[in-house]
Amino acid sequence: MEFCDECGSMMKTEGDMWVCGSCGAETPREAATESGMVTTQGQEAGEVVDLSDSEADARPTTEIQCVECDNDRAYWELKQIRAADESETRFFTCTECGHKWREDDH
């Protein structure tokens, strides 16, 4: 990838020149410099792995009683819902019934 010295825009290749799409500035291409550049051309597509089913299992859990189903396990997460100088609020989601609540709701 090359950037224009005149305006800072990204340049594209046209033959043996780098050409700026914004201001039209041109710079000669140098094979030695370009040999260290990484391109996406010719790269093989990797295997796409769907993690959506395992995503819930990756969340941290803790021992806490659900008021809806009496299950004793819940996922938890911290969120900043007030001003930055205030502490985070912990949210729970029951691992059995999916009931959601905040730490101060109980």
- In a domain, residue 87? The reply is yes
Which residues are annotated binding-site positions for Zn(2+)? 4, 7, 20, 23, 66, 69, 94, 97
How many domains, in total, are found in the chain? Answer: 2
Rounded mean pLDDT of 36-45?
67
Q: Which CATH number characterizes residue 63's domain?
A: 2.20.25.10
* CA-CA-CA-CA torsion sign (71, 72, 73, 74): positive
- In a domain, residue 99? The reply is yes
Q: What angle do CA 60, 66, 68 make, to 5 degrees?
A: 135
- In a domain, residue 51? The reply is no
- In a domain, residue 64? The reply is yes
Per-residue pLDDT of 73-89, as tens digits, reads: 999 999 888 888 888 89
Tell me: do 61 and 27 sit in the same domain: no
Which residues are annotated binding-site positions? 4, 7, 20, 23, 66, 69, 94, 97
Which domain range does residue 72 map to?
A: 56-105
What pLDDT is attached to residue 8? 87
